[in-house]
Chain A
């Protein structure tokens, strides 16, 4: 029993960072007023870039470049949505399609059809003596990204809720015209938030290809970006909420994988597909119960037009 719990905690901590980073990225973009359904594509770009760069340089550096690639990809979204006032959902879905086909094209022309060559994974830190203690054992042996995800969520919560910058980001997402009258550069701040969102999604993707696995697989991130959007909505657009939802979804995934490997008979009672569908179903239920009291930022999806004030 104890071993099972340990295994569940361990694989949750392995699986969660990618989802947490991406969900935090979605929160950052949407709190500043720009819809981001392109998380899936940004993750894909980050995952591929990190895996490709890790072949020629140390993996931590490649992870940073994966982040940069995600940020660069998100910059397209920023230009389209903020400067050119395109429909934000369309732009995000277009980026998803471009990432899906474009990365497939790059993967094929660089490494062949199904995966990249395997790379050196990010280093894993053991806890020394702690690694012998039951239960705590499960916390040992993860990459730095696992702990970064937790710290980042907390930091994000504090910055957004307690600092002037956070106040400005929230203002720009709720009522940009009011923010502009007190001298906030709405356009610039929204740009930074969307690009930062891409960097976080890219980091999430990089976590998949350099920490969870040791290569880029052709279907990455296989819907995880949409699950991150679900986590953001489930967590009511707050950093800690998104963090909690992402961790919860990751735990669900760990339960599903754990059940499949150690108790195959359970999957006759509760099929795998039902467990996989559960996070989305729960998100839908929560949204339905919330009804019209949705916590979405008020100016979400509306381009900022200074001359139309």
Chain B
């Protein structure tokens, strides 16, 4: 049995808790962004706008001849906008917004599922590997989650007239502007490395789990995860 089979087995056995924790992590991810904004700028969101995502995607498909252009535009499409409108100026000006983009939501859902899976596998294997390895795996998973999470930040600010992108969120969260812009071209790489760390950690934990299960079978003990 490979690590992948252990993962599949774990998912089958614990899909309920996995779904719940993943959903909780997704909510926590977006709530955390709003919380940081609140502490940094002092305002809670005061407006929500929902977008007709299917109709907008259909419009993009109709109006974009090249597939290579169509995909990135669709990936940038919003389904929900939550923000703070400052009514001290004009009839109100959006000071900051957090967009829910299905493409980013999917990425965050994958990250959340991997974190939940890691936690489940870690619970089983925590006594089967060394303290150092355990800490390394937790560290790798954590670092991976942070990297993938950062690149999927979906905050925007009226300040960045030129380039609304994930680095806007970083700048908004307090990162130096120059550093944020330096990081921008590496977004895909940062996310990829993040996902790789998470996946590696999951697989490693699954392998350990395999060892636990083999040992359990040899000693006729029931496996904790089956």
Partners in one complex: no
